[in-house]
Amino acid sequence: MSRDLDRIDLRILKELEVDGRLSIVELAGRVNLTNTPCSERVKRLERAGHITGYRAVLDMDKLGLSHLTVMQVSLAATAGNNSLDDFNEAVRKIPEVESCLMIAGSFDYLMTVRTRDIAEFRNVLGDKINKLPGVMQTNSFAVMEIVKEGKEFRGAAQTA
């Protein structure tokens, strides 16, 4: 059974997005609930799929993966056969691809690729990305600075 999210649910989501390691005690205090109702709400939000997981945000520079490239990818064909499915399945197997978005526009996919340096990117491009099923053309753009990253839950789609 689905129910609309109320303002407390939205506040819980916002707080957990900022710090997914908050204890129930700390979270309950921030949203003005006692521990048990807060815990029950978090479990309900997880079961309903509003919270799909928790993860650490890693410092890629400190991990030696400071080179980020944005790529446009055009396929030779997107209609008929299984070209999109084949591409999607294959690109998921490339660990250097951080994200891959199917786009409606003048190209088919927008990807971000994370590597140690430009030399490693060149190898990934030649040995993996250009060999993906159906790839006709790629355009690569080296990222000079990340100005804003991630998302921020605003609750705009929900009414409180």
Domain ranges of the chain: 7-47, 67-142
Q: Which fold has domain 7-47?
A: Arc Repressor Mutant, subunit A (1.10.10)
- Report the SS3 class of residue 108: coil
Per residue in 73-100, pLDDT (tens digit) is: 999 988 876 889 999 999 999 999 999 9
Domains 7-47 and 67-142 share a fold: no
Task: Look at residue 3 in the predicted model and tell me its pLDDT.
Answer: 63
Q: What is the predicted pLDDT for the residue at 90?
A: 97
pTM here is 0.81
Q: What is the pLDDT of residue 1?
A: 34
Within 8 A by CB and 6+ apart from 5, the residues are 13, 50, 155, 158, 160
Paired tokens of 5: 């999210």
**Which tokens is 36 given?**
């048990």
Q: Which CATH code fits 67-142? A: 3.30.70.920
Q: What does the pLDDT look like over 123-138, one tens digit per residue? A: 999 999 999 999 999 9
Q: Which two tokens stand for residue 15?
A: 């707080």
- For the chain, which ranges sit under pLDDT 50? 1-2, 156-160
For the chain, where are the alpha helices, taking DSSP H only?
7-18, 24-30, 35-47, 83-91, 118-127
Distance CA 94, CA 113 (A): 9
3-state secondary structure of 135: strand
d(CA 89, CA 81): 14
